Amino acid sequence: MKKLTILLLVLIIIGCKKQDKIKTIIKETDNYVISINYPITDNKRINKQIKKYVNDEYKNFIKQNNEEKQELNINFKINDDEIIIYSNNNKKSFKYKKEPKTIETYKYISKAKEIDISKKSIALTFDDGPSKYTRKIIDLLNEYNANATFFILGNKVELYNDTLKYMLESGNEIGNHSYNHKWLTHVDEEELLNQINKTQEIIKENLGYEPKVFRPTYGSVSKLMRETINLDIILWNIDTMDWKYKNKNKIINNIMSQIEDGKIILMHDTKKITYETLKQLLPKLKEQGYQFVTVSELKEIKTIREKT
């Protein structure tokens, strides 16, 4: 038994050098040997739970009155999302969700923009991005004092962080378009909420911004969605078919034949042709007296107009 304890001690010392956030308790009396090892994480809540559990195991062990010399061994294993504490024959899992990293919250200051309530207004919307074309599209919008709403995917937020900051700085709106473009009318409630909430969280964590609008993937809305999602569900009036047409004149003609005050236009900032189309479309619409606003601004304009 002594040999074992020494070996354990050596192992613990070696272990401690690698990972110094381990709490170790070694005790030996005539009646028992105790060797306890448990981690101290950066999550206070889980530290408390583990400490309590270990203390309880310890107390229960001491309480036992056995004839023979007894041994208590407590050790642990850390997985991605849980810490498992092994104590003699027991095993207990503690769900471990890492605390959000403390990143400097990004304060976005959008450039001042004048909105003329009486002017014909349309909302350009871009789905599925950001992508390598997004920054160029924002530049183009800025040239025409235009703003748009970008319905983005949560799994692209970290990769395109700078583009997204630029998007907000330029006065655009960010909307939620799910985490990885799942068909949301084909998933259960848990997955639906997961897709929405994960995206909200990652945007807030990285940009200090909370989307207020949501566009369902494939434009399909369910009753469950209407009941569970706390965001404005935004569809569209004009589908530019930029994902389908290879010819920008075809896309432009399609838009121009349907354009009207108050319309919401669906585009994709993941397509090069969309950028090419916008280069011609923006001056054309501006010439016809349109101003380009976000979907939330369009809603506000409509509300103000109704009141007056």
Q: Indicate which residues carry an active-site annotation.
A: 127, 268
Name the residue nearer to Zn ion (CB basis): 232 or 300. Answer: 232
Q: Does 57 bind Zn ion (CB under 5 A)?
A: no
- Smallest gap from Cβ 241 to Zn ion, in A, equals 14
x-or-dash pattern for Zn ion, window 214-243, by CB under 5 A?
Answer: ---x--------------------------
Q: Does 127 bind Zn ion (CB under 5 A)?
A: yes
Q: What is the DSSP string of 157-211?
A: TTTTHHHHHHHHHTT-EEEE--SS---GGGS-HHHHHHHHHHHHHHHHHHHS---
Q: Does 128 bind Zn ion (CB under 5 A)?
A: yes
Name the residue nearer to Zn ion (CB basis): 43 or 185. Answer: 185
Name the residue nearer to Zn ion (CB basis): 72 or 164. Answer: 164
- Smallest gap from Cβ 110 to Zn ion, in A, equals 25
Longest dimension (CA), the chain: 96
For the CA atoms of 245, 248, 252, 254, the dihedral, rounded to the nearest 10 degrees, stands at -20
Given CA atoms 280, 283, 287, 290 in this order, what sign does their dihedral have?
positive
- Smallest gap from Cβ 181 to Zn ion, in A, equals 6
Q: Which residues contact 23 (CB under 8 A, 6 or more apart)?
A: 36, 37, 38, 39, 40
Q: What is the DSSP string of 98-154?
A: PPPP--PPPPP-PPP----TTSEEEEEEEES---TTHHHHHHHHHHTT---EEEE-G
For residue 292, CA distances in Å to 13, 24, 104, 171, 281 come to 66, 64, 31, 11, 12
- Smallest gap from Cβ 36 to Zn ion, in A, equals 52
Contact assessment for residue 166 and residue 209, using Cβ atoms and an 8 Å cutoff: no
Name the residue nearer to Zn ion (CB basis): 33 or 153. Answer: 153
Q: How many CA atoms lie within 13 A of 73 on its CB side?
A: 10
Q: Tokens 């040239």 map to which residue?
A: 143
Contact assessment for residue 263 and residue 295, using Cβ atoms and an 8 Å cutoff: no
- Smallest gap from Cβ 117 to Zn ion, in A, equals 31
Residue nearest to Zn ion (CB): 127
Q: Applying CB under 5 A, which part among 139-147, 210-218, 226-234, 287-295 lies near Zn ion?
A: 210-218
Q: Applying CB under 5 A, which part among 21-29, 211-219, 231-239, 298-306 lies near Zn ion?
A: 211-219
Name the residue nearer to Zn ion (CB basis): 19 or 220. Answer: 220
Name the residue nearer to Zn ion (CB basis): 121 or 125. Answer: 125
Name the residue nearer to Zn ion (CB basis): 35 or 125. Answer: 125
Q: Exposure string (b/e) for 209-222, b if CB count within 10 Å is 16 or more?
A: bebbbbbbbeeebe
- Smallest gap from Cβ 153 to Zn ion, in A, equals 8
- Smallest gap from Cβ 9 to Zn ion, in A, equals 59
Query: Which helix (H) or strand (E) element contains residue 259?
Result: none
Q: Applying CB under 5 A, which part among 38-46, 108-116, 123-131, 196-204 lies near Zn ion?
A: 123-131
Q: Applying CB under 5 A, which part among 125-133, 154-162, 228-236, 298-306 lies near Zn ion?
A: 125-133
Number of residues that bind Zn ion (CB under 5 A): 3
Binding stretches for Zn ion (CB under 5 A): 127-128, 217
